[in-house]
Amino acid sequence: MKRNSRMPGFYKLSVADRRRAAAEALGIDVAEIEAAVEDGGLACEKADKIIENVIGTFSLPFAVALNVQVNGEDFIAPMVVEEPSVVAAASNAAKMVREGGGFIAEADDPIMIAQVQLDEVPDGARACTRIHQHASELIELGNHAVPGLCRRGGGVRSIEARDLGDGMLVVHFHVDCRDAMGANLVNTVAEAVADRVQELSGGRTGLRILSNLCDRRKVRVTCRVPTWALTTDGYNGGEVRDGIVRASRFAERDPYRATTHNKGLMNGLDAVVIATGNDWRAVESGAHAYAARNGSYSPLCVWRADGDYLVGSLEIPLSLGTVGGPSRVHDGARMGLRVANARTATELAMVAASVGMASNLAALRALATEGIQRGHMALHARSVAIAGGAIGADVERVAQLIHGLGDITVDAARRALADLAIAANSAPPPSE
């Protein structure tokens, strides 16, 4: 079924109506959505089987980003995140990107790296040569350890030995993990080949584990946003475009800014990673190592002007899976994967990276114009209203009051709530 991720007014609906609208757009039975996401998507008995010392579960909001178009196809991106305005900002920016044809994404094959460390190698150069001479044998040995993966078209593709000096050597096994994130698969390969690698090197085996710097599994996304689509109250599109380009150049020169620039990107990307049950620590460590690959921490996404367009380009290593990991047991993660509707892990990575790019664009657009606080604080006011004791319809009333006062504090929320209660008690009874 061809999906449409444009759903104007979605944000105004109740949670129940949003579920119905999403179910219809996704072709999923609404009862299945309800069952999967109610109570955080994970029963305590299951949680107790996943990790150790469990005393409960911990929920986060599950939302969807709209307007996302990747390579001409619509995606409704699942997002799990606790920070206000991330989902709205990503959806809004995705709409601007859509005006220029959406995100154009491409990705490497899903190749992960298994590392085998060797110590006390007597002759590093000779060991590297011997290991490369026995590449076919080692690849076969590695593949023997992951028959299921090989049956699905994955497996060890190549090897690379590097002399790290002082008798230390590392051998990389490049493993195509197909639709798996791959950590366990790759670790299995590393352990299976270690003895033979040790023999060939004449040294002693050390660690045997994947590298989270999966720089053979990168996603590249570009977008062209027409300048007019960037217009805000008080700023024309050209001013916004140039402000975003200046902000990008700032991040390219300054690691302090680049860190926050990338944080804005990871806001959206991580939310998709978490919603689909993927390992966000793996994604984070890989992304930041890659951002620092040239010796100075840099932005993962850069922005330039091209005539009447703002052009963004992002490159990021991304190890996501649509099989294995928590998706086997976590109902919420399974629903996240169904909502994302990606045909492969590679496609899921392209969608997640596109949402990351949308988040980056939204943050830079706000920063380059009115600043980020106005929109952010309007949404933050709702959380503060809840912390001040507001429930139901009072949340929005209190949020608007404290936002209007410019005093978004729990004390102000309590006072506003008390004022609302007094006003309600002294109001005349409703007429019939």
Measured from the CB atom, the residue of 91 and 319 that comes closer to ligand NAD is 319
Q: Find the shortest distance in angstroms from Cβ 187 to ligand NAD.
A: 6
Measured from the CB atom, the residue of 44 and 207 that comes closer to ligand NAD is 207
**In this chain, which stretch among 11-19, 94-102, 147-155, 258-266 interacts with ligand NAD, using CB under 6 A?**
147-155
**In this chain, which stretch among 300-308, 322-330, 348-356, 394-402 interacts with ligand NAD, using CB under 6 A?**
322-330
Q: Does 47 bind ligand NAD (CB under 6 A)?
A: no
Residues 190-219 that bind ligand NAD (CB under 6 A): 210, 212
**In this chain, which stretch among 119-127, 230-238, 249-257, 318-326 interacts with ligand NAD, using CB under 6 A?**
318-326
Q: Which pair of structure tokens corresponds to residue 230? A: 């960037």
Given the residues 74, 179, 270, 279, the one annotated as active site = 279
Measured from the CB atom, the residue of 78 and 325 that comes closer to ligand NAD is 325
Given the residues 83, 123, 191, 284, the one annotated as active site = 83
Would you say 186 and 175 are in contact if contact means Cβ atoms under 8 Å apart? yes
Q: Find the shortest distance in angstroms from Cβ 38 to ligand NAD.
A: 24
Strands 218-226 and 309-317 come out as antiparallel
Q: Find the shortest distance in angstroms from Cβ 177 to ligand NAD.
A: 6
Taking Cα atoms as reference points, which of 172, 64, 106, 146 lies closest to residue 347? 106
Please identify which residue in 79, 81, 185, 398 interacts with ligand NAD, judged by CB under 6 A: 185
**In this chain, which stretch among 50-58, 308-316, 323-331, 389-397 interacts with ligand NAD, using CB under 6 A?**
323-331
Q: Does 318 bind ligand NAD (CB under 6 A)?
A: no
CA distance 221 to 349: 10
Q: Does 181 bind ligand NAD (CB under 6 A)?
A: yes
Q: Does 184 bind ligand NAD (CB under 6 A)?
A: yes
Q: Does 378 bind ligand NAD (CB under 6 A)?
A: no
Residue nearest to ligand NAD (CB): 324
Is 279 considered catalytic here?
yes
Measured from the CB atom, the residue of 88 and 323 that comes closer to ligand NAD is 323
Residue located via tokens 């002082």? 166
Is 174 considered catalytic here?
no
Three-state DSSP string of the chain = CCCCCCCCCHHHCCHHHHHHHHHHHHCCCHHHHHHHHHHHHCCHHHHHHHCCCCCCCCCCCEEEEEEEEECCEEEEEEEECCCCCHHHHHHHHHHHHHCCCCEEEEECCCEEEEEEEEECCCCHHHHHHHHHHCHHHHHHHHHHCCHHHHHCCCEEEEEEEEEEECCEEEEEEEEECCCECCHHHHHHHHHHHHHHHHHHHCCEEEEEEEECCCCCCEEEEEEEEEHHHHCECCECHHHHHHHHHHHHHHHHHCHHHHHHHHHHHHHHHHHHHHHCCCCHHHHHHHHHHHHCCCCCCCCCEEEEEECCEEEEEEEEECCCCCECHHHHCCHHHHHHHHHHCCCCHHHHHHHHHHHHHHHHHHHHHHHCCCCCHHHHHHHHHHHHHHHCCCCCCHHHHHHHHHHHHCCCCHHHHHHHHHHHHHHHHHCCCCCC
| Residues in contact with ligand NAD, shown as a per-residue x/- string from 250 to 289 under the rule CB under 6 A | -----------------------------x--x-------
Q: Find the shortest distance in angstroms from Cβ 1 to ligand NAD.
A: 22
Q: Does 143 bind ligand NAD (CB under 6 A)?
A: no
Measured from the CB atom, the residue of 93 and 219 that comes closer to ligand NAD is 219
Q: Does 183 bind ligand NAD (CB under 6 A)?
A: yes
Taking Cα atoms as reference points, which of 187, 223, 182, 224 lies closest to residue 207? 187
Is 83 considered catalytic here?
yes
Is 376 considered catalytic here?
yes
Q: Find the shortest distance in angstroms from Cβ 208 to ligand NAD.
A: 12
Please identify which residue in 8, 56, 148, 307 interacts with ligand NAD, judged by CB under 6 A: 148
The contact set with ligand NAD (CB under 6 A) reads 148-149, 152, 154, 177-185, 210, 212, 279, 282, 321, 323-326
Could you give the residue numbers annotated as active site? 83, 263, 279, 376
